[in-house]
């Protein structure tokens, strides 16, 4: 068969209409004009579409990035976006939740957790009536009911199986890798500390990544060395950042989790000792900036004295002054900003809840936390030893304990949306809402 036989031919009486030619030229002209008007942004349009398609197919990656997107907002690429990064990711996440709600792929919210969130939300809205900072308070309420509430509710839409929990932790580590690279490339010119201005957020994410890798390395010998090496890198960068709170929270969370795991499975002692020995051997070779080394040394020698010399010590005193004025009802959302206009919040989630929203919000959140912690310990004990589910529960326990400690020294009710997200995930797991089977096709 000749090549001419394969060549498409128009019928003898066929011709291209003039209107079709004009329409084609018009479409080409409009597309070219739009590209010229958009400038370099036009080149990024396919990348944006690809990113949107990826996140719609990988909602767990979307959630992991949504919880930590604030760490990337100082980068030029993110600043150049025509829309706020948090808003864009939030809209995509809300779209995923909406689709899953319509298709019935949503998990029931545990009662204690739902009650705690409801009390906090109602207290925020009601306290606007008596707060001494109505403008700032209104901003906090709006942010909580939108951005933070999305982080609280999304896990009940995107988590369906135990495998989803593993993938979420994997994506969290993946997000931590560029954060570590950015921290190394952005040292402070004055102090030498890494990560520029966002030291606490950077340290927190890197410590969470290290916890996931270390606890995961204990359960899987195949990836034990690479995971431990990457975890050591995360810890070294977090230490060079110089924020003491995340480092101390990391140490305590790791100790609690390992103690619980070793008590349940004594055979894990050997891998734990091997990882600890390797970490101790690496420490002398890690060179920290002078300021970071000094801050960490002071906290290690005398934590109480270091806390008394820190500005947070005075914030705690100011928070209790506000609590003493109205310990039951609280001073109202945003009221702490009138006590300290510079800090605006006491850098302690529990003091913030009590000082601004009153005793009911504090008690309900504390009850949800206690119920979750008890449930995680019980679940880890009941699950079969050496099972993948048990390993994931111990990772979840470590990350949750870390976030619980971290919110006591940094952030406000909205900055700590990663804590709210982890509380939601842990509540979902404890309530037994995750399936072990593959989802049925729809």
* Confidence bin at 413 (pLDDT 50/70/90): very high
Range 148-163 average pLDDT: 96
* Confidence bin at 7 (pLDDT 50/70/90): very low
Evaluate whether residue 186 is within a structural domain.
Answer: yes
Range 302-307 average pLDDT: 52
pLDDT of residue 442: 39
Distance, in Å, from the CA atom of 21 to the CA atom of 27, rounded to the nearest integer, reads: 10
Q: Residue 193 pLDDT more than 60?
A: no
Q: Residue 168 pLDDT more than 90?
A: yes
Evaluate whether residue 374 is within a structural domain.
Answer: yes
Q: Residue 441 pLDDT more than 50?
A: no
* Confidence bin at 10 (pLDDT 50/70/90): very low
Domain, as residue range, for 169 = 109-430
Q: Residue 237 pLDDT more than 50?
A: yes
35-to-46, 207, 295 alpha-carbon distances in Å: 12, 43, 52
pLDDT of residue 265: 67
Range 245-252 average pLDDT: 87
249 closest CA partner among 375, 418, 438: 418
Evaluate whether residue 440 is within a structural domain.
Answer: no
Evaluate whether residue 298 is within a structural domain.
Answer: yes
* Confidence bin at 40 (pLDDT 50/70/90): low
* Confidence bin at 221 (pLDDT 50/70/90): low
Residues 104-146: tens digit of each pLDDT: 999 999 999 999 999 999 999 999 999 999 999 999 999 999 9
pLDDT of residue 383: 84
Q: Residue 287 pLDDT more than 60?
A: no
Q: Give pTM, 2 decimals.
A: 0.82
Evaluate whether residue 370 is within a structural domain.
Answer: yes
Torsion, Cα 285 291 293 294, to 10 degrees, reads 150
Evaluate whether residue 41 is within a structural domain.
Answer: no
pLDDT of residue 305: 53
Range 203-232 average pLDDT: 86
Q: Which residue has the higher pLDDT, 387 or 375?
A: 375
* Confidence bin at 285 (pLDDT 50/70/90): very low
Evaluate whether residue 25 is within a structural domain.
Answer: no
Evaluate whether residue 29 is within a structural domain.
Answer: no
The number of distinct structural domains making up the chain is: 1
- Provide, rounded to the nearest whole percent, the portion of the chain with pLDDT above 90: 47
pLDDT of residue 4: 45
Distance, in Å, from the CA atom of 304 to the CA atom of 163, rounded to the nearest integer, reads: 42
Range 261-289 average pLDDT: 55
């Amino acid at each position: 068969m000749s090549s001419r036989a394969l060549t498409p031919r128009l019928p003898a009486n066929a011709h291209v209409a003039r209107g079709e030619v004009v329409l084609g030229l018009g479409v080409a002209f409009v597309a070219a004009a739009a590209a010229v008007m958009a400038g370099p942004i036009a080149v990024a349009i396919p990348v944006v579409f690809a990113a949107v398609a990826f996140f719609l197919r990988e909602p767990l990656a979307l959630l992991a990035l949504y919880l930590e997107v604030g760490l990337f907002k100082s980068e030029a690429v993110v600043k150049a976006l025509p829309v706020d990064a948090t808003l864009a990711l939030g809209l995509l996440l809300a779209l995923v939740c909406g689709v899953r709600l319509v298709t019935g792929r949503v998990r029931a919210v545990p009662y204690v957790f739902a009650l705690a969130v409801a009390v906090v939300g109602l207290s925020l809205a009601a306290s606007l009536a008596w707060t001494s900072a109505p403008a700032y308070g209104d901003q906090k309420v709006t942010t909580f009911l939108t951005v933070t509430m999305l982080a609280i509710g999304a896990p009940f839409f995107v988590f369906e199986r135990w495998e989803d929990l593993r993938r979420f932790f994997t994506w969290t580590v993946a997000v931590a890798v560029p954060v570590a690279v950015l921290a190394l490339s952005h040292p402070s010119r004055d102090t030498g500390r890494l990560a520029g201005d966002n030291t606490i957020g950077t340290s927190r994410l890197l410590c969470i990544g290290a916890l996931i890798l270390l606890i995961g390395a204990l359960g899987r010998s195949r990836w034990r060395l690479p995971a431990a090496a990457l975890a050591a890198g995360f810890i070294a960068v977090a230490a060079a950042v110089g924020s003491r709170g995340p480092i101390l929270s990391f140490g305590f969370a790791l100790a609690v989790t390992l103690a619980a795991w070793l008590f349940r499975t004594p055979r894990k002692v050997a891998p734990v000792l091997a990882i600890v020995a390797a970490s101790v051997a690496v420490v002398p070779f890690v060179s920290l900036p002078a300021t970071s080394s000094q801050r960490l040394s002071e906290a290690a020698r005398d934590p109480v004295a270091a806390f008394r010399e820190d500005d947070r010590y005075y914030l705690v005193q100011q928070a209790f002054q506000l609590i003493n004025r109205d310990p039951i009802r609280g001073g109202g959302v945003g009221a702490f900003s009138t006590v300290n206009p510079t800090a605006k919040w006491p850098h302690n989630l529990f003091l913030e809840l009590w000082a601004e929203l009153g005793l009911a919000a504090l008690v309900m959140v504390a009850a949800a936390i206690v119920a979750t912690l008890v449930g995680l310990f019980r679940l880890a004990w009941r699950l079969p030893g050496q099972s993948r589910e048990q390993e994931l529960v111990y990772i979840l326990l470590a990350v949750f304990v870390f976030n619980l400690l971290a919110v006591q020294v940094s952030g406000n009710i909205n900055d700590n949306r990663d804590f709210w997200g982890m509380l939601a995930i842990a509540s979902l797991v404890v309530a037994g809402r995750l399936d072990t089977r593959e989802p049925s096709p729809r």
